Chain A
Amino acid sequence: MMSVIVLTLILFIGSYFAGLLGSLTGLGGGFVIIPLLTLVLHVDIHYAIGASLVSVIATSSGSAAAYVKEGITNIRLGMFLEIATTAGAMVGALIAVYIPTNFIAILFGIILITSAIMSLRKKAELINQEKNLLAEKLKLNSSFPTPNGPVNYTVKNVGGGFFMMGFAGIISGLLGIGSGALKVLAMDTIMRIPFKVSTTTSNFMIGVTAAASAVVYLQRGYIDPGLSMPVAIGVLLGALSGSKILVHTNSSGWLRWVFAVVVTFLAVQIIYNGFIGKI
Chain B
Amino acid sequence: MNKQPMSQKTFRDTDMQAVIGWILRLGVLLSMSIIFIGGVIYLYRHGQAIANYHTFKGIPDFVHNIHGILNGIITFRGQAIIQAGIILLIATPIIRVIFSAIGFVLEKDYLYIGITILVLLIIMVSMLSGHAG
Contact = CB atoms under 8 A, between A and B. Distances in A.
B43 A4 contact: yes
Contacts of B130: 93-94, 215-220
Nearest to B27: A61
B92 A233 contact: no
Interface stretch (A14-22, A82-90, A119-127): A82-90
Contacts of A220: 58, 130, 133
A86 B123 CA distance: 7
A226 interface: yes
Contacts of A138: 111
Contacts of B109: 139
A8 B50 CA distance: 11
B18 interface: yes
Interface residues of B, number: 67
Secondary structure at chain A's binding surface: helix, strand, loop or mixed?
Answer: helix
Secondary structure at chain B's binding surface: helix, strand, loop or mixed?
Answer: helix
B50 A42 contact: no
Given A208-B93, A215-B130, A216-B129, A76 B21 contact: no
B43 A76 contact: no
A73 B96 CA distance: 14
A58 B122 contact: no
B123 A232 contact: no
Instruction: Give 8 nearest A-B pairs by CB, closest first.
Output: A221-B58, A216-B130, A207-B93, A225-B82, A5-B47, A90-B126, A65-B24, A43-B53
Given A58-B89, A93-B130, A230-B39, 6 more contacts: A54-B90, A65-B22, A68-B17, A208-B123, A211-B90, A226-B42
